[in-house]
Chains A and B, each alone.
Chain A
Amino acid sequence: MWAFINKLRSPKWFYGISAKLQPWFWALAALLLLTGTLWGLAFAPADYQQGNSFRIIYVHVPAAFLAQSIFVSMAIAGLVFMVWKIKIADMAATVMAPLGAAMTFVALFSGAVWGVPTWGTWWMWDARLTSMLILLFLYLGVIALRGAFNSRDSGSRAASVLTMVGVINIPIIKYSVDWWYTLHQPATFTITGRAAMPMEMWAPLLIMVLGFYSFFVGLTLMRTRSEILRREANKRWVRDLIEELR
Chain B
Amino acid sequence: MSLCLQARQLACERDDRWLFEGLDLDIQSGEIVRIEGPNGSGKTTLLKILSGQLSDYHGELYWNGSLMHEVREHFLANLLYLGHAPGVKAGLSPLENLAWYQALSGEQGTETQREDALSRVGLRGFEDVPAGQLSAGQQRRIALARLTLTPRALWVLDEPFTAIDRHGVAALEAQLVAHASAGGCVLVTTHHELTASPVLRRVQLG
List residues of A whose CB falls within 8 A of some B CB.
Answer: 85, 151-153, 157, 231-234
Contact = CB atoms under 8 A, between A and B. Distances in A.
A234 B56 CA distance: 20
A234 B16 contact: yes
A231 B16 contact: yes
Contact of B14 (A151, A157, A233): A151
User: Which residue of A152, A153, A231, A234 has the most chain B CB atoms within 10 A of its CB atom?
Assistant: A153
B64 to A, nearest CB: 25
A152 B15 CA distance: 6
12 contacts: A85-B56, A151-B14, A151-B15, A152-B15, A153-B14, A153-B15, A153-B56, A157-B56, A231-B16, A232-B16, A233-B16, A234-B16
The 8 closest A-B pairs by CB, nearest first: A152-B15, A153-B56, A234-B16, A151-B15, A153-B15, A231-B16, A151-B14, A153-B14
Contacts of A232: 16
Contacts of B15: 151-153
Nearest to B13: A153
Interface in B7-22: 14-16
A231 B56 CA distance: 17
A233 B15 CA distance: 12
Given A153-B15, A153-B56, 10 more contacts: A85-B56, A151-B14, A151-B15, A152-B15, A153-B14, A157-B56, A231-B16, A232-B16, A233-B16, A234-B16
A85 B54 CA distance: 14
Contacts of B14: 151, 153
B49 to A, nearest CB: 13
Interface string B54-87: 0010000000000000000000000000000000
Contacts of A234: 16
A157 B55 CA distance: 11
A232 B56 CA distance: 17
A8 B56 CA distance: 18
A157 B16 CA distance: 16
A151 B14 CA distance: 8
Interface string B176-193: 000000000000000000
A8 B147 CA distance: 46
Contacts of A233: 16
B184 to A, nearest CB: 33
Contacts of B16: 231-234
Contacts of A153: 14-15, 56
Interface in B71-113: none
Nearest to A157: B56
Contacts of A151: 14-15
A153 B16 CA distance: 10
Contacts of A152: 15
B61 to A, nearest CB: 16
Contacts of A231: 16
B4 to A, nearest CB: 27
A152 B13 CA distance: 11
A233 B56 CA distance: 20
Nearest to A85: B56
A21 B16 CA distance: 28
B160 to A, nearest CB: 26
A233 B17 CA distance: 11
Nearest to B15: A152
A65 to B, nearest CB: 35
Contacts of B56: 85, 153, 157
A232 B16 CA distance: 8
B86 to A, nearest CB: 24
A156 to B, nearest CB: 10
B9 to A, nearest CB: 16
